Amino acid sequence: MDIDILELSDRSARFILSDVDAAFANGLRRAMLADVPTLAIDEVNIYNNTSVLYDEQIALRLALVPLVTIFNEFTPHEECSCEEGCPACTVSLTLSVEAPMDEDKTVYSGDLVSADPKIKAADSNIAVVKLKGGQQLVLEGIAKMGYGHDHAKWQAGVACGYKNVPVIEIEGCDLCEKCVSACPRDILTLGKESAEVVDDRLLNCSLCKQCVAACDIDAISVSENNTSFIFTLESDGSYSAEELIINAVNTIRTKASTLDNILGEL
């Protein structure tokens, strides 16, 4: 297996995963989406809400606020030995906002105050509700560690996908330029003796095969590399993109080790 990092920022990444099959690539994708546990507000105690939104609507909005998560410091609530919640699997976040009598005030995710200073909203500018003059919102949110396969609020990967690395072969080209004009991604250009591929990695090729359809002499063919994949992913901010990838791989490793132990006991 080989990994070639193309882009890496705090919230997103793009890389080429080679020498693996589609099952492994899809397993990595699913792990990033559903099997990396994160913190999310699961219960809300409303003490005062005079805003225009019902308590349930406030709770639903808070549940979808991504929270910065430290992977090794918390245990998923369903795997914790406690029953009611403890510091190992839950975090309390409070919110108390009142709009001045003569003006409106928007409540943001950054107004949440966590009992653990390391746990906070991944983005502080997510609007929760707009309060009119004199309105109040006072509540406590109980964040729990959970998995994306149970609910979308625990899904750290928000846009994880892959495609096969394209393979374009050109032979017997007559320089008619039809394939160059047909390509919607500007992948091809006209060389001295034949049409040529602009980007050797073909990162922008969508495998639409319009170039193949445009060629009257079948000089161009487009196929897929079945053991090489271009991955694109985004994190909701619970983890950095790098942490999300590493935690997904560790999750797969742990599951494989558990399965190996179970089979060894049979």
pLDDT given for residue 89 in this prediction: 87
Region for 124 from its dihedrals, namely left if φ exceeds 0, alpha if ψ lies in -120 to 50, beta otherwise: alpha
Summarize pLDDT for 93-102 with one digit per residue, the tens: 999 999 999 8
pLDDT given for residue 51 in this prediction: 96
pLDDT given for residue 25 in this prediction: 93
Enumerate domains of the chain plus CATH numbers: 2-33+159-233 (3.30.1360.10), 38-154 (2.170.120.12)
Return the structure tokens found at 197: 């591929």
Cα dist. 111→106, 144, 239 in Å? Answer: 10, 19, 21
> Which stretches in the chain have pLDDT values below 50?
none
- The residue behind tokens 């193309």 is 6
183 annotated to bind ligand: no
Summarize pLDDT for 138-176 with one digit per residue, the tens: 999 999 999 999 999 999 998 899 999 999 999 999 999
DSSP H helical segments within the chain, as ranges? 22-30, 55-63, 178-182, 210-214, 241-265
pLDDT given for residue 168 in this prediction: 93
pLDDT given for residue 22 in this prediction: 93
176 annotated to bind ligand: no
pLDDT given for residue 159 in this prediction: 87
d(CA 63, CA 101): 29
215 annotated to bind ligand: no
d(CA 129, CA 119): 22
pLDDT given for residue 189 in this prediction: 92
* Of 58, 205, 201, nearest in space to 135 by CA: 58
Dihedral sign, CA of 96, 102, 105, 111? negative
